[in-house]
């Protein structure tokens, strides 16, 4: 029996630092839980451009298509701001998502009890928060044609096209309903059917999938702007939210801040099943490359660690081990161990990026 395969793409900025802590945990699972991964590593983003003149080589793209899962750190930085749009670091990430057809982006927003005071909202509003936003990732306004900046008369006009097919909406809706069945059995679909034809189609298709295939799941609809307001007012009313690419980008970042820090939030991007029945998958923290703190040992590795926990759950069928890792993170936080983004309370223990990784490994050892 072959070992599960994992391609690691640390990327730019703090990406290599946080990924180094995940490598400690991968090694721990190999030595302590007899879960050995075949790990390979490659370049993506600015570091790939520096080495190869492209944010993602064909060879790395091919490798990503072959492995069981891809784990990515972060891409980008101000040194690449003046590059042509076609070779900006973010184009490497978009290529991975598009060519792997990773159409369902799962972004959990969970507020650990130890961090409830770090949210900008009142503690009783966010304590115990556990919602999942499912964002359509490979279509919509980020990919629709026509697009570009054109001359029209004597001025410039910027054009982006919001476009969705019925099948694209159906498959991401199914992902949301399947997730809801394993959680609180509720889905809220968000769009702008009041002003956008694509929103009208979105609402209709999600309703049809619900009626035909998932009548046991509670379904509600909400305009995306109202959804943003409700996320700030009472987020615990939601279980699974499903929405399009643009609104999902905005709503998931808003939900991220409910938890107190972007450094805490993982994500998974899932596609169609491979020959082994597992979905093609890419896992990455929600945070960016944070070049202002890169190399200083200040970065919080927890989002990247929790992204690996999502890989254990969704790509490697190890939900019990994902629970173990998430519990270890919660234990470390409950003990008051904090990286720079989570300081501010009395009685906490400030730690570096590496020390936070060591603390999580120690908590994993204590779980045996």
Homologous superfamily of the 1-110+261-368 domain (CATH): Isopropylmalate Dehydrogenase (3.40.718.10)
pLDDT more than 90, % of the chain: 83
pLDDT at 349: 92
pLDDT digits (tens, 9 = 90+) for 116-132: 888 878 888 888 899 99
**Binding site as annotated, residues for Mg(2+):** 225, 249, 253
Q: Exactly one of 142, 214, 283, 314 is catalytic; which is it? A: 142
Asked if the model's pLDDT at residue 162 lies above 90, the reply is yes
Does the annotation mark 27 as catalytic? no
Q: Exactly one of 68, 249, 314, 318 is catalytic; which is it? A: 249
Does the annotation mark 122 as catalytic? no
Task: Enumerate the domain spans of the chain.
Answer: 1-110+261-368, 139-258
pLDDT at 258: 84
Fold annotation for 139-258: Rossmann fold (3.40.50)
Among 10-19, 36-45, 109-118, 192-201, the range scoring the smallest mean pLDDT is 109-118
8 A C-beta contact, residue 159 and residue 153: no
Strand partners for 188? 220, 241
Q: In the Cβ-directed half-sphere of 105, how many Cα atoms lie within 13 Å? A: 27
pLDDT more than 70, % of the chain: 99
pLDDT digits (tens, 9 = 90+) for 23-69: 999 999 999 999 999 999 999 999 999 999 999 999 999 999 999 99
pLDDT at 253: 85
Query: Could you tell me the pLDDT band of residue 345, with boundaries at 50, 70 and 90?
Result: confident
Q: Cα separations (Å) of 4 from 31, 203, 227, 306? A: 15, 38, 39, 18
Does the annotation mark 225 as catalytic? yes
Q: Which regions of 209-334 does DSSP assign to beta strands (E)?
A: 218-223, 240-243, 266-273, 279-285
Q: Exactly one of 12, 164, 192, 318 is catalytic; which is it? A: 192
∠ CA 245-248-254, rounded to 5°: 150
Q: Exactly one of 27, 50, 253, 358 is catalytic; which is it? A: 253
Question: Which H or E element spans position 148?
Answer: strand 144-152
pLDDT at 256: 80
**139-258: same fold as 1-110+261-368?**
no
**Binding site as annotated, residues:** 77-90, 97, 107, 135, 225, 249, 253, 288-300
8 A C-beta contact, residue 34 and residue 98: no
How far apart CA 75 and CA 10 sit, in angstroms, is: 8
**Binding site as annotated, residues for substrate:** 97, 107, 135, 225
């Amino acid at each position: 029996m072959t070992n599960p395969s994992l391609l690691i793409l640390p990327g730019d900025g703090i990406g290599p630092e946080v990924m180094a802590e995940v490598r400690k945990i991968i090694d721990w699972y190999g030595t302590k839980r007899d879960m050995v991964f075949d790990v390979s590593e490659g370049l993506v983003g600015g570091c790939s451009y520096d080495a190869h003149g492209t944010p993602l080589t064909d060879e790395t793209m091919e490798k990503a298509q072959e492995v069981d899962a891809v784990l990515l750190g972060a891409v980008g930085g101000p040194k690449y701001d003046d590059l042509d749009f076609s070779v900006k670091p973010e184009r490497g990430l978009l290529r991975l998502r598009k060519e792997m057809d990773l159409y369902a982006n799962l972004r959990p927003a969970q507020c650990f009890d130890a961090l409830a005071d770090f949210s900008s909202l009142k503690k009783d509003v966010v304590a115990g928060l556990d919602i999942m936003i499912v964002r359509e990732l490979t279509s919509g306004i980020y990919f629709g044609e026509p697009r570009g900046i054109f001359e029209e008369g004597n001025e410039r006009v910027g054009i982006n096209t919001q476009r969705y097919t019925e099948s694209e909406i159906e498959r991401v809706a199914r992902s949301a309903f399947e997730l809801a069945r394993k959680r609180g059995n509720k889905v809220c679909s968000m769009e702008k059917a009041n002003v956008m034809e694509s929103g009208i189609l979105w609402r209709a298709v999600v309703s049809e999938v619900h009626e035909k295939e998932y009548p046991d799941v509670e379904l509600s609809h909400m305009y995306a702007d109202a959804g943003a307001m409700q996320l700030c007012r009472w987020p615990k009313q939601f279980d699974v939210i499903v929405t399009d690419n643009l609104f999902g980008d905005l709503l998931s970042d808003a939900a991220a801040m409910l938890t107190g820090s972007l450094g805490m939030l993982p994500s998974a991007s899932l596609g169609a099943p491979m020959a082994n029945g597992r979905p093609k998958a890419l896992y990455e923290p929600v945070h960016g490359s944070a070049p202002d703190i890169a190399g200083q040992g200040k970065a919080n590795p927890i989002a990247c660690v929790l992204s690996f926990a999502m890989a254990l759950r969704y790509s490697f069928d190890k939900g019990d081990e994902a629970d173990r890792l998430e519990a270890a993170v919660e234990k470390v936080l409950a003990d008051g161990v904090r990286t720079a983004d989570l300081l501010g309370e009395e009685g906490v223990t400030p730690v570096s990026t590496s020390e936070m990784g060591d603390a999580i490994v120690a908590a994993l050892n204590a779980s045996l």
